Structure 1
């Protein structure tokens, strides 16, 4: 039985790694399997970010033309939430760099 899994995250639109132990606990072969799976997922992050940026642009265009205050607030909230998702995806994208640097040290 593997001591890790990848679980779908609806908010980010990708699967995220769930490790049951500290990274150093895993055997090298298991680390390689984790990294290989993560690399496949990680490769989808730039496209995911582009899709979220496009949603932001749509909402910004709607906001530009919106006169209703409540709808403007909702659009601003949506934009902030999408930006937060992008930020989180950038963080997850950098995780592989941290794993690689730990592996080589």
Structure 2
């Protein structure tokens, strides 16, 4: 059974548990946590890639004289920043879960 699914907006697998956490046996919980830690560990790299895209779009924006194209670039930058924010939320929120699960 797969406990994660791809969030295409974020570009990472996110937890997708069918049952409450308490309904999984200890072995499944450990497996889920192990998989999540691998995914979670890649989040900073994903953020760095998105920050690079933002920098490229900001550079293009500084040279852009077409108003509509400037608006489009600003919108794309805003969306990338929103994705980064959501990724940080996933990264920070679930470190608490994994810590509590090991107690």
The corresponding residue for 1:92 is 90
The corresponding residue for 1:67 is 65
User: Which region of structure 1 is more displaced relative to structure 2, 5-14 or 49-58?
Assistant: 5-14
The corresponding residue for 1:31 is 29
The corresponding residue for 1:83 is 81
Deviation for aligned residue 1:83: 0.4
- How many residue pairs get aligned? The number is 103
User: Which region of structure 1 is more displaced relative to structure 2, 69-78 or 95-104?
Assistant: 95-104
Q: Deviations over 1:36-69 (max 9, x none)?
A: 0111111111110000000000011111111111
**Unaligned stretches of 5+ in structure 1?**
none
**Unaligned stretches of 5+ in structure 2?**
none
> What TM-score, normalized to structure 1?
0.88
> What TM-score, normalized to structure 2?
0.89
Consecutive aligned runs of 4 or more in structure 1 exceeding 6 Å deviation: none
